Amino acid sequence: MRYRIHHETAYDYASDVLHAHHVLHLVPRPAPFQQCLEHTIRIDPDTYRRRDEIDAFGNAVTHLEFEHVHQRLEVLTQMEVEVHPRPKVFAGHSMPWERLCEELAYYGGYPTRENLEACRFRHESPYVRVKQEFTDYSAECFPADAPIMECADALMVKLNRELKYSPGATTVGTPVREVLKHRRGVCQDFAHLMIACLRSRGLAARYVSGYLREGPMRDANAGPAAVGAGASHAWVAVFSPPFGWLEFDPTNDVIVGTGHIAVAWGRDFGDVSPLHGVLLGGADHKMEVSVTVETLTPW
């Protein structure tokens, strides 16, 4: 599938911003299953310093510094991305989850490169706590000797069934324990809770941000409409040897495929926020975000 994506963010400040630094994750990262064909970023005001680099997780990141007084900031990014089908894998062929926990645990030896990379996503992070209550909540999804992919799929189904998608019920800073207690939130909350359940068992899971195709998720012409389209979206990648990282969307109860466009991944939302910054001045502000994903004719 080929997509054209338009993502616009605008901040209106109550008073003058005297100085500002912003960090942007708005460039789709290259991967075996997707390719960014075109990408542009337009910024207003246009008097700024810019630095492009790769962050610790391999994501493209843009740093902006504004030294001129302004009361409004607009960031418009447009891109064209080609997404390829993923190879089919059989859940029963993935490693049993208990054995995987043992392999990821520290034992003083020399782990494989893949396991060492996975361990970066095995521990607590600022938005994802490791707690016994997450282990208890997901217990039915992790029977003894079950393959990790089957467990992750069962957890995705459970979250989709028991959590209500409710925009406005949470904020960026809502703790995962509160999400579990009230059983409502948005895609970010679904992803954080799934990651918390996996990491609390010693498994590796990472947070993926990106975009979602509008329309049905399981079939191009039928099925329920995608939940979370029209905005930045989030889902979960689970380390699942021997297949590597497999991705699950608990908000829509689907294994990620050609309907998802990945931009960045990290430990949680804080690592991959589309746009965040530090300001001198500004006082209160109002933010508006607009995202459209247009499906182009497949090649």
Percent share of the chain, pLDDT over 90:
85
67 exposure class (CB count in 10 Å sphere: 0-12, 13-18, 19+): exposed
pLDDT beyond 80 at 225: no
Model pLDDT, residue 284: 87
69-124: pLDDT as tens digits: 999 999 999 999 999 999 999 999 999 999 999 999 877 677 788 989 999 999 99
pLDDT reported for residue 7: 96
pLDDT the model gives residue 218: 61
Q: CA-CA distance, 13 to 11, in Å (whole number)?
A: 6
Q: Which residues partner with 281 through β-bridges?
A: 17
Tell me if residue 206 falls in helix, strand or coil: strand
Can you tell me the mean pLDDT for 186-192? 97
- Parallel/antiparallel/unpaired status of strands 205-212 and 233-239: antiparallel
Look at residue 282 in the predicted model and tell me its pLDDT: 85
- Catalogue all structural domains in the chain, each as residue range(s) with its CATH number: 2-84+273-296 (2.60.40.2250), 91-272 (3.10.620.30)
For residue range 233-275, list pLDDT tens digits in order. Answer: 999 999 999 999 999 999 999 999 999 999 999 999 999 999 9
At residue 298, the pLDDT reads 60
How far, in whole angstroms, is CA 279 from its chain's centroid? 25
